[in-house]
């Protein structure tokens, strides 16, 4: 019985790897573009499994109107869907939920 169980387990692991493989290998780099007319002073990107916004990705930097920055969202979680939160110089915030960073190359705040 053990000899039949091992190949079945290995086959199951192989299928799991085939399903998880594409998301795990996906490019999660996204160009974030600011076209709002205001300076972005904070930017957060947290995977859908996270319960918090994590840290401000811009740190001490800002993203002026018309500027862009490329951010790698590969946090080794395997998630493709992220929530974005941008905070602007006038205090306004914009939240975009469920952005698939594995499928897009650019995201514009307008």
Three-state DSSP at 3 gives: helix
- Residue 89, in any domain of the structure: yes
User: How many domains in the chain?
Assistant: 1
- Residue 86, in any domain of the structure: yes
- Residue 79, in any domain of the structure: yes
- Residue 66, in any domain of the structure: yes
Q: For the whole model, what pTM was predicted?
A: 0.77
CATH of residue 90's domain is 2.60.40.2890
Among 39, 26, 98, which residue's Cα sits nearest to residue 65? 39
pLDDT per residue, tens digit, the chain (110 aa), is 445 554 554 444 454 444 444 455 689 999 999 999 999 999 999 999 999 998 999 999 999 999 999 999 999 999 999 999 999 999 999 999 999 999 999 999 99
- Residue 57, in any domain of the structure: yes
- Residue 9, in any domain of the structure: no
């Amino acid at each position: 019985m053990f000899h039949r169980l091992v190949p079945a387990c290995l086959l199951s692991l192989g299928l799991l790897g085939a399903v998880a493989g594409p998301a795990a290998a996906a490019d999660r780099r996204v160009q974030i573009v600011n076209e709002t007319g205001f300076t972005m002073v904070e930017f957060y990107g947290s995977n859908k499994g996270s319960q918090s916004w994590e840290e401000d990705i811009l740190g001490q930097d800002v993203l002026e109107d018309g500027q862009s920055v490329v951010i790698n969202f590969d946090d080794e979680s395997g998630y493709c869907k992220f929530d974005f939160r941008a905070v602007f110089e006038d205090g306004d915030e914009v939240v975009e939920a469920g952005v698939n960073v594995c499928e897009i190359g650019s995201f514009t705040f307008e």
